[in-house]
Structure 1
Amino acid sequence: MITIIQILQVLIDAVTLIVIVQVILSLLVSFNVINTYNEVVRSIYTGLNHGTEPLYRPFRRILPDFGSIDLAPFAVLLTLRILSIILNNLAAHILSGTPL
């Protein structure tokens, strides 16, 4: 059971990293620090957008529209952190042998 929790923790960490990279890349593109005329940048940018969009979509339906400010990545990161805390507490209870 602990191994499954550790695998889930690694997956949560990977998704967190992907979301952070997507947000940073999106900011760099929107402020014209880098442009999407470069084929490599464009492929990475579209790949990250296609990969994170299914995560953002449920939060975008719930969150109010703030115009150009997108709070969905923040909500996803917050949710991932909450899941990580829950998994850590579950692992601690399993290792200590105390009931939930």
Structure 2
Amino acid sequence: MGANIALIFNILMNVAILLVFFRFLIQLAAVSPYNPVVLSTVKATKVVDMFSRIFPTLAKGRVNLAALVLLVVLCLFKNFGAMYLAGSPPNSAVFLLIYTFVDMIQDLIRICRYLIFATIILGWVVMFTQTRSPYIEVIQELAEPLLAPFRRLLPNMGMIDLSPILAFLALYIAQVLMNEVARVLLIGW
């Protein structure tokens, strides 16, 4: 029974975190607000608008502090709940904060990898079918800020885009570093 409750709690928290995170990324990447996917995400995350009365937006409205604060609160609640339901509540608040921060960065790296991979696959889909959907546009617009710095580094090779390979390499290095930090953190506590 306890394992089922922990699983349901984990699923619900991950869905809430993912929705708020996509709300943050959509605003950060300046995705078109008229896209139906963006409209439904904004409607599903109305709670962010309540927090935006307290926390302002930065960088000409692109960095939504309300979504970021809500994301941190949700991640803290998820990690505390998961530890509590597993029967090992955290020893200290500092450990919970550091663990949540490392976990959030690892999740960010994972989502960035998924976005880049989805962009590659959807690029092929668009090329072969010659059609675009709102979902494809949102994913490509979300991945563009990740790939743009690498495109500036590489020479123009026409139809061949090697920027995802460099982005995957950079994300892999970041993931290895964060895994090492997580390992040291867990050993230290």
Shorter chain as denominator, the TM-score bin is 0.7 to 0.9
Aligned equivalents of 1:48 and 1:54: distance in 2?
11
Partner of 1:81: 172
Match of 1:17 among 98, 106, 114: 114
Higher CA-based Rg: 2
Q: CA deviation at 1:20?
A: 0.6
User: Higher RCO, 1 or 2 (CA under 8 Å, sep at least 6)?
Assistant: 1
Question: What value does the CA root-mean-square deviation take over the aligned residues?
Answer: 1.4
Aligned equivalents of 1:19 and 1:57: distance in 2?
12
Partner of 1:35: 130
Aligned residues: 91
Aligned equivalents of 1:28 and 1:78: distance in 2?
24
Aligned equivalents of 1:52 and 1:69: distance in 2?
17
The two structures have a TM-score, normalised by structure 2, of 0.45
Match of 1:90 among 181, 186, 189: 181
List alignment gaps of at least 5 residues for structure 1. Answer: none
Aligned equivalents of 1:86 and 1:61: distance in 2?
25
The two structures have a TM-score, normalised by structure 1, of 0.81
Which runs of at least 4 in structure 1 moved beyond 6 Å after TM superposition? none
Q: Share of identical aligned residues, percent?
A: 32
Q: Secondary structure of 2:155's match?
A: coil
